[in-house]
Amino acid sequence: MTDSPTSASGDTTAELFRLRDFRFYISGRFLGTLAMLIQSVAVGWQVYDITESPLALGYVGLAQFLPIVLLTLPAGDIADRIDRRYIVAAAGLLEAAAAGWLIILTLTHTGDVTWFYAALALFGCARAFMAPASRSFVPLLVSAVQLPRAIAVSSSTFQVAVITGPAIGGGLYLFGPVLVYAVCAALFMMVTVAFLMIRTRPPIVQHAAATSAFARVTAGIAYMRRTPIVLGAISLDLFAVLLGGAVALLPIFARDILHVGPEGLGVMRSAPAVGAIVVNLLIIWRPLRKRTGHIMFACVALFGVATIIFGMSENFWLTLGALTIMGAADMVSVNIRSTLIPLATPQQMLGRVTAVEMLFIGASNELGEFESGITAAWFGTVPAVIIGGLGTLGVVGIWMWLFPDLRKVDKLSDVKPQQ
């Protein structure tokens, strides 16, 4: 393999960016995320402009989410059996094709948005295959010692895209949706080029001829179930987000409790990202070295405490502080989980385990918003958030007892796959 991670053994950010393949990976990941968020702004605005229906916006999300739910596990199996570079490259071309389809629909639209949903479903299919292949790539490009810093750099580029993408999309939309989709198509094709430029070849798994497709696809779930630190890390994040995710209720807090209007709501939505970026920069500067298991549990507990403070706050600045801490604490947990799982998983299974992780965490985000809405309807907005925070603290205590191996993890670089 060219440009092996061992060729740059020093654990510094400069050494990390001297790795040619890592530079191409980060560039491709950033451009793909940026294009996705630019496109999401344009599609949402255009569909609502055509239909003037809030329900139509719900279908926009559903059209992209359903393919991801249905295809993520099979995509993880494919990521372990086909060169991941080619999977990401093909998915980038498919995303570019979806953007091109949106251009055609914009130029020929008749007021019916049904075909817009079809184009977005195609985009969702591409994302379902791209995500497991691209996310399981990082451990191939860097050493185990460099991995926490590499994950932090990758997360930082994602957060930068999250902040800048919608703003760029809104600005470009002033010149019409065709320009937006054309820019997105070009960016998606650049993702394809970036991953084809990577020289590191992922391992390809050869399965016995008798191995059924179902057994291959579910092997990631089976491995997770018999590996306590992997199961504990994924399920801890799942239940913490499920119980403590109060983002769906931010409009209620902004309008009815804090009385800060849409401008304040925008600032509140940005606060967790600010906390996440600050933490990522700190981890890039000084990666976590010891007692990472304890740190992970402590940060999830801090997330729960900050959630309770957010729920009780009637002061805008205190609310912003709590939301910022929530974003920071969550990012520490995400960094540890994103580093630990690749190290604890054999490379030949990483695509499938990553797919399981993505499916569970993605579902918890969606269900967490639903859970917040239901508990707010039953108990009221403030009690719902406080109950969620207390539930998160309860999960931390139970998981520390259920998964002692996860709690005892010291140096992440010492974590090895279960034989």
Among residues 81, 95, 79, the alpha carbon closest in space to that of 133 is found at 79
pLDDT at 401 over 90: yes
Residue range 372-391: mean pLDDT, rounded: 85
Q: How far apart are CA 98 and CA 76, in angstroms?
A: 22
Most confident of 19-33, 129-143, 358-372: 19-33
Instruction: State percent of the chain over pLDDT 90.
Output: 28
In this structure, which topology does domain 5-196 adopt according to CATH?
Answer: Growth Hormone; Chain: A; (1.20.1250)
Domain 215-414 has CATH 1.10.3210.10: no
* 267 or 23, higher pLDDT: 23
Q: Which pLDDT score is estimated for 10? A: 54
Q: What is the pTM of this model?
A: 0.76
Residue range 53-70: mean pLDDT, rounded: 79
For the chain, the domains span 5-196, 215-414
User: 215: pLDDT confidence band, cut at 50, 70 and 90?
Assistant: confident
Q: What are phi and psi of 373, to 5 degrees?
A: -65, -40
* 333 or 101, higher pLDDT: 101
pLDDT at 210 over 60: no
Q: Give the tens place of pLDDT for each residue, 138-180.
A: 888 888 788 878 888 888 888 788 778 877 888 888 898 999 9
Q: How far apart are CA 159 and CA 277, in angstroms?
A: 7
User: 212: pLDDT confidence band, cut at 50, 70 and 90?
Assistant: low
Q: Do 5-196 and 215-414 show the same overall fold? A: yes
How far is CA 199 from its chain centroid? Answer: 25
Residue range 228-232: mean pLDDT, rounded: 87
